[in-house]
Structures are given as C-alpha cells and as structure tokens.
Structure 1
Amino acid sequence: MTSPVNEDLLRSLIPSVLGILVRRGADFGRGEEAVQEALVEAVHVWPADPPRDPKGWLVTVAWRRYLDATRADAARRRREELVDQEPAPGPASGIDDTLQLYFLCAHPSLTPSSAVALTLRAVGGLTTRQIAQAYLVPEATMAQRISRAKRAVAGVRFDRPGDVATVLRVLYLVFNEGYSGDVDLAAEAIRLTRQLAAAIDHPEVAGLLALMLLHHARRATRTAPDGSLVPLAEQDRARWDTESIAEGVEILQAALARDRLGEFQAQAAIAALHADAPTAEDTDWRQIAQWYDELARLSDSAVVRLNRAVAVGEADGPRAGLAALAELDDSLPRYAAVAAYLHERDGDLATAARLYAEAARKAPNLAERDHLTRQAARLNTRRQH
C-alpha cells in the first residue's frame, strides 16, 4: 500500500537542498532545475519507497541530475573536477544553506519584482505558471523574468552573509500581494517567513512574522460579500482569527524583549494594539501614536507620518491630527483621504466631501475608489438633510 507524498514537506526542503547544491559549486540556474527534477522523481518514487532521510535523498538525486546536465555540455576539465568533487550522499549544514539561499534570491542586483519571483520559484517551490497567475502576467513573461534573475545571480559568491533587511522587504512584498490565481501569496509569505525564522535568530524576522500573522488574522473581514472595502472600525471583530492574533502577539513580545527595535517590530506593535481592542472605541490610540513616533524615527517615511496623523487625530482630537497632517506634502498618496476623514471628524462636512471626491479620483484601485466615492456621497446626502 502506498501513501501520497507530503507536498508541504517537499516544498519546505527546497531551499536547503538548492542551497547545498550551490555551495558545492552548482550554477544557480541549473541547480534549481536539478532540484525541480528531483522533486518530480520524488513524487513518483516516494509513495512506494519512502526514504528514511528525505532531504539526503533529494540532495543526492538533485546533485546527480546536475552532474548529468554538466557532463552533457560543460568543458571536459570542469566536468572532471565536478565528478572528482562529488561528496558522499546526504545534506551538509542545512540551516546555513537555507539562509544563504534567501539572501541570494534577494540580492541587491535584482529588481524588487525579480527578487520576489526568484524567491517564490527557488525558495517557495512555486511553478512559473503559478507565479505568473498570481501576478496577472503571461507565463512567458514570468519565465523571462525568472531566467534573467537566475542569470543575474549566477556569478554571485555564496560565501558571505547577506542583508536580512532586503530579504524581509522581499517577503513583505510577497505578503502584500495577497491572493490571486490559485496561489495565496499572503499565506505563502507567512510560510516562507516562518522558515526564515527557523533558520535565523533575528528580532526583525520575528517582527515581520508577527506583523503578517496579525494582519492576516483580519483578512476575512476586510471586504464585504460584494467586494467593497470594510474599514477597520467597521469590521466584525468576532470573525478575526484569534489563534493567529495570539501567536503574533506572543512572537512580538519575545522579539521586543530583546530590546533591538526595528521597523517591523514597531509595525507589529501597532497591529497588536488594534487586534487587542474588543471594539473600535476601545482602541488605545494614544499608545498607537507613540508607536508611530518610534516608527517615524526608525524609517523617516512620509507614509508613516501620514498614518501617525490619523493616530494623533484619534488620540488628541481631529484638529491635532490636521496640524500633524499640515506638516506633510499634500501630494502624498492618501493625503486627501486622511484629510477628508479628519475634517469629517471635526464637523466640516463640505470640506470632507470635497476631499473624499478628490481622493477617489486619485485612488490606486477600483475598490478604494468606490469606497471613497461612497464616503463623499454619504456626506453630501447628510448636508442636504
């Protein structure tokens, strides 16, 4: 009797297996193809003959596939060197190799979109078709993007630490894509960040994982059945995923206890305060504003200061929020929407309605545009009665 292959196990082994091949001297692109061939063979062989050491089996088979491909078209001397170097079957230091692969796929020579695509392919184990569907581009376009990314990192030495911050930015880009096609990129980003957290003891990695879990916990309530946006204050908190919230808070508290504050930890602290409030009215806006002060010091981001203006407006009144907003450039994305909200809170419905309409015209997507248009219409109706 055979049992199906554990696909989650297979995908979790991909980065460490590929990392070992690259460390042994394999070209990144061919190494990745060899790993994919080994995965295909595993799907056929393992149900009837499961290995005692799945990772060692994949390393051995992938390395042989790589050597076979190298023998077919490489120079004779290089071919003989690789054959002479063939090590005993079984993996080397897997955790370090996994970590290096994350660094390689987020290499500074790659554009953000290429780094995301390569991470999903080489670390996540997604097919080119799945990645293309998730990003709503033709498969051929995505294949070219991944091929270019592989060529860009082909000559990168695999012997020095990478930049953790760059890896985290790539994973956060994946998370923010959400869901499209048959791949849930938010869930995939959480899986990959969990894997990274197991490979590296770093408070910002924990901070990003906590942030993802806390945001993902509210996912089911962010849109209505008709697809319209539901603001945070109006979401049904009884439908939030309490297990994800509890896990995110626990991970965040452990990271903060290390006293090495970073941007993702600060963002997660803000998300935790929202998650902790039983109702919108119970939100601790004063503490959220303080966390935005910390975040502004860490990032010096105009978007952070825009969000801080909202928090100040909730904590100290709309006029204090408008004063904080006045310090910013009014061409910032969402500036008009924030100004509209604060003017409405201050009772200036005419100005708020005008600004909501202006914000709708500048909205980056249809759902946000429709939401802001409805807000403007709502205020105009109130003014007429």
Structure 2
Amino acid sequence: MSQYPIILIPVGIERAKLALPPAPIPPDPPQQPGTKPQKINNTLIAVETAVAIPTIPIVSQLTSIPGWLLFLAVAGVIAGHVWDQITTYPQRKQKHDHEVESYPKKLKDYEIKKHQHQEEVKASQSPERVAEFRYKLLLQILSQTVPHDGSGSGARRGEAEALFGNHLSRYFPSKIHKGLTLKIPDFDYPYTPDFAYIDKELNLYIDIEIDEPYVYPTGAPTHFVGAWKDSNRNRFFLAKQWIVIRFSEEQVICYPQSCCKTIVQVIAQVTENNSILNQFASFTDLQLMKQWTEAEAIDMAAKRVRNNYPCQNKGLHDNSLIETQQQISLALKPNSRAQSRGATRARHRALNLSISPPTNNTTLSSLVSCPYCSAKVKTTKFELHKTNKCPKRPLL
C-alpha cells in the first residue's frame, strides 16, 4: 500500500548507502622449506634407466639406429644428470640450509603481518571509515546527476504550492528553486518540478512534488495509485539521479513544517549527516497518509475535500499554528500602559472582521474558504485576507 510521503531514491545512491570499503589484501604465508637435497638423486636415475631400457629397442627398430648407439646416448644423458647433481649439490644444500634457517623469522614476520591485516580489516569496517568511504562514493555518484536544462517554466501553480513554497524558502534558503525545466525526449513540453531542492556543493537534486487527489476545476482524478503519468515522471527523475519526494496536498497545507522535516530526514539519511536535523528537533514527524486510488479520488472530488481538509477546521497541526497564535497574542497585548483600551478593541475588531461569517446578501458562489481558518471570504478579498488578515496564516 502506497503512503505519503512517497520517497524514491535512485539506485546508485541506495548502493552508496550500503557499500562497504574493500577489505585489505591478506599477506601470503611463507613457504615451508623442502626436503633436504641429495647429492645424487637415485630415484631420478632409477626412473630414467627404467624408462630408457625398454624404449631403446623400439626406437632402434623404428629409426634403424643401432641399439648400442642409442644405449651410449642414453647412458651419456643419465651420466650428465648425475654429474650435474654432484656439481650443484653444494649450492642446493646451501640454499636449503638458508631456507631452514630463515623460516622461523619469516613465520614470525608473517604472524605480525597477519595481525596487522586483521587490525586493518577491523579499522576498514569501523563506522567512521565506512561513513567516509560511503560519502566519497556518494559524491562520485552525485557528480553524475543530470541537472535541469532550463528555467522560467509557465506551468500553473496552485495555492498549496505557493503557501508551501514560503515554508521551503524559510527553512532551505537559497536551495529551493521554482520554474525549472527538464526536456523530455521526443516530447514538446518539459517536466517542471513543483519545487527543486538543489545543493550545488554536493550536486544533490531533489524533486519535491505536491499531489492533489483531483483537478480542482474539473474534478478529474489525478496522482492516484498506479497513475502512469506519475510512474513515468518518477522514472524520468530517478534516471537522472534526482531524489523524488511526493507529499499529499493535505500534508503540505496542514503540516508544512513536518514536511520540511521529512525533506531534511531524507537528506540526512542519504548524506549520513544527522547534525542537520538539530534545527528541526522540535517539529513533529510527518504522519503517514494512505495514497488514494482512482475511485477514491473521484469520490473525493464529489465531496470537494480540497475545500475542507480536517486541519482547516481545527487549525494547523504543527508548530506553525503555535507561532501564529503567539504572534496574534503579541499583537493584541498592549506594549505599555499608555495604550488605550480602545486601540486594543480596534485590533480585536480588525481580526474579527477578517473571519466574520458572510452577510445575508452575499451569495455562496462569491465566497471562498480560507485554507487556514476556514472562514468564508469574498473572492475579491481572498488574497488580502489570506496574506494579511487571517489570524491563522503561517509566519514566513
């Protein structure tokens, strides 16, 4: 069962996360000394004689060479071997004696090298050495990432994208990019990530997507389980060594800070750098959310769930709500005794007006629901209310 957030990591990066440094080559053990050399190798002479005696008549018959002549030739060869053994015996004995004498030292040196090798193997598999090896391998793999090839995309952006973009820019300054394009082979239009996280130092690219259950104007289902366009898009970015993170629209509207924490958790997991999680320690982890099927998306469109996510009635469920409420409290609290109660009441009235219910002479078709406080606001005043007056708007 698919769940949001959907996190897809390229195969090369996954391998780097699991790679281990190559183990050092073990030393070769010393060769033991052979048997003590003989002045004359009687066994060798006996074998040569035993082979020559029956062979001489056969060769003589086949070649018409007299047997006695062949016998003299074979005897001369055997005699030469005997003479060679006698003359080389001093050198062979000296070499053997040296091998016997030096073997204990070679064996001791081998034991030392063997112990050193064991220590090197242990050190090579230490957490620090493994992390260093994986990081270097990761940099090598990320160097092969294919970047975007254009910018200034004219792709339409929804309200959820605009609001979530403010949070992304806040927590990832200078690393969030919009409107980037990547050309699709044999296709007229490029892909445009909703947001692209780019760390130029690491050459790390992340495609951040916001999935809605249906197209707002038409109600057509989109981004459902098994949607071929999403699968093709994911494969496209993964092949270019981009990480893909997909959030549901409800998650980015209701839990924007937790979504940002998820992005950092993915980066920390890939780079094995947990220190970057410190500034997000106070944020709650993003809860998993089941991805809808096509049939469920159609049902969601019929119920217009995008107009009424649960958090829009209860308030945002992460720290952005707390910060907003604190900001409102500070705005309502007099800064000094010199401030009049009338001024305070005026501020109260200003806030209350922004969330007041529609009057009787206002038709429902001219009202929209605020994604933060769920207040019904005139279409002409929606942007002003959402950006300036809404008491539950996120702080940017």
Normalization by structure 2: what TM-score? 0.26
In our comparison, the structure showing a higher alpha carbon Rg is 2
Question: Higher helix fraction: Structure 1 or Structure 2?
Answer: 1
- Greater share of strand: 2
Larger relative contact order (C-alpha < 8 A, sep ≥ 6)? 2
* TM-score normalized by the length of structure 1: 0.26
